[in-house]
Amino acid sequence: MDCGNGVRKLAVRYSASDSPFVIDGDTRYTEYESNGNRHFAVTNKDKDSLTMRIIGIDPGTGIMGFGVIEVTAGKTVLVTAGAITTPPHTPLAERLEEIYTSLQGIIEETKPQLMAIEKLFFNQNVTTAMSVSHARGVAMLAGQQAGLSIEEYTPLQIKQTITGYGRATKKQMQEMVRLHLNLVEAPKPDDCADALAAALMCAVMNRL
C-alpha cells in the first residue's frame, strides 16, 4: 500500500475479521482504571464483557512494526498487523512525517485504547539508537494526540513475559506470538512480531 513519497505500508497479512470493533446501539463505553491510568473500553451490552484494543509498536525509522490485538473476557485475537517502511535516502524529516501520518491512519482505523511501545535500548551503535529514538517520539506523539494511554516496556521485559526467557531468540519470540494469538504461521517480518509481543505484554500487565 503506497503511503506517498515512496513510503509504503506493507500489506496486512494477519487479521481477525471475526472480531470487528463496531460501535452501535448494542455497544457502550466503559471507563476503568489500570496501572494508575484511566482507560475507556467497549462493553457489549448483551455479553456484558469488556473489550480492549491495544496497538503495539516496534519503533524504527527504516521499518516500524505495528500490531493491534483485541482482548475480550480473557480471549485475545489479532485485529491487524504490518509494518511501515521508508526509503533510506529520503530526508529524515520527511520519513518521520510519513511514519506519523501512516500511524495516525492506522490508529484512526483500528481505534485502540492503549499503546505499548518498546523502550529505547542503547547499544554500541549510537546512530541506530538515535534513529530509533526519532521514530519512538513520532509514534508516541501520534498515540498521545489520539488520546491513547501509552505504556513502555524494555525488550527484556517483553521477552521474559511472552516466552519466559529474557534472552529468547527472534524465532522463539515469533513462535510464542503465533501461539498466543492462535495464528497459522508466525508473524513476519520480525518488527511485526515484536510489535505484537509488546501489545501482548501490555495485556498481561493490565490483567486483561
Per the annotation, where are the binding residues?
58, 118, 191
Q: Do 113 and 120 form a contact (C-beta atoms < 8 A)?
A: no
Please confirm whether the linkage preceding 187 is cis (ω < 30° from 0).
no
Residue 22 grid coordinates: 463496531
Q: Within its chain, how far is the Cα of 30 from the centroid?
A: 22
| Bridge pairing between strands 14-15 and 27-34 | unpaired
Cα Rg of the chain, angstroms: 16
Whether 191 is a known active-site residue: answer yes
Q: Of 70, 98, 151, 191, which residue is the catalytic one?
A: 191
Per the annotation, where are the binding residues for Mg(2+)?
58, 118, 191
Distance, in Å, from the CA atom of 49 to the CA atom of 34, rounded to the nearest integer, reads 17
Indicate the DSSP class of residue 2: B
- Nearest CA to 54 among 36, 37, 66, 38? 66
Distance, in Å, from the CA atom of 72 to the CA atom of 28, rounded to the nearest integer, reads 14
Whether 194 is a known active-site residue: answer no
Whether 118 is a known active-site residue: answer yes
Mind telling me the catalytic residues? Answer: 58, 118, 191
